[in-house]
Amino acid sequence: MAKAEESGLPASLEMAWGLRERPGKGPRPTLTLPKIVDAAVALAAAEGVEAVSMGRVAKELGVSTMSLYRYVTAKEELYILMADAGVGVPPPPDPADEASDGAPGASWRELLTRWAYAQRAVLMANSWILRIPITGAPLSPNQLAWMERGLAAMAGTALKEGEKLSTIILIGGLVRNEATMAADMMDAIIKSGVSPDQVLGQYVRPLRLLTDPESHPAVTRLLESDAFTGADEPDFQFRFGLDRILDGLAVLIDGRSPGPSPAR
């Protein structure tokens, strides 16, 4: 691991990586970076990211705002650390995934599927993370641990490193979009004070009135199907999108697998 003076990271991220113990000298202060991040995360979870400010976090901790700046120089840095704490570390690998005694381990497809669903679960449980703007590539410990796990899932394939990166970006985009739509819908449901079924009905009823088989034949077929209910398969849309990405990836990977020469 790089030394602190070589990393080029803000001091707060150096502390998160263990490259810098604590700011300044003298007695160990009662305020620590983890305490600051925990207070900011609790505030975001309770009131939303928009409630997080250096002043408000300092108030929650019972310290002066200036004392926070010894650990975090800007709210944008705090956001990065909050998101890192929110996603946490990836779930530990399943021992059954490892190949042993000639038995194959989990396939790249199984590993990427689990990676995607695990990320989705984290974002659905901590939707405030979705409100933090993405300002750069991941450089925090937990974010890089997720990146490592995603890339490692494709270690046994013939994909180039850039293709592996593009794959986790593509899947990560699907995960984030799905989680964001779910969070937006939940916010709308909470604000409206009605049930999810009622919200759906409020959309479908006028849609039926505004369309007919002549003007909107495709929409009519959609309304006549069970696509809007999804009661039997609530994860259908996410599973469908993920499977299509993985299907395309399988074609690419299989096309590069060694095999017999074509007949001439």
Picking from 59, 60, 82, 78, the residue whose alpha carbon sits closest to that of residue 69 is 78
Residue ranges of domains in the chain: 4-87, 95-193+233-256
The reply to whether 95-193+233-256 shares the fold of 4-87 is no
Q: pTM of the prediction?
A: 0.84
Whether 25 has a pLDDT exceeding 60, the answer reads no
Q: In this structure, what DSSP letter does residue 261 have? A: P
Mean pLDDT of the chain: 86
DSSP structural state of residue 74: S
Model confidence at 93, pLDDT cuts 50, 70, 90, reads confident
Q: Which fold has domain 95-193+233-256?
A: Tetracycline Repressor; domain 2 (1.10.357)
Confirm if 58 and 64 have CB atoms less than 8 A apart: yes
pLDDT value, residue 264: 39
Answer yes or no: are the C-beta atoms of 123 and 41 closer than 8 Å. Answer: no
pLDDT digits (tens, 9 = 90+) for 159-169: 999 999 999 99
Distance (Å, whole) CA 16 – CA 18: 6
Confidence band of 260 (pLDDT split at 50, 70, 90): very low
Whether the predicted pLDDT of 263 surpasses 90? no
Q: What is the pLDDT of residues 222-251, one digit of tens each?
A: 888 877 765 557 788 899 999 999 999 999
Q: Which CATH superfamily is domain 4-87 in?
A: Homeodomain-like (1.10.10.60)
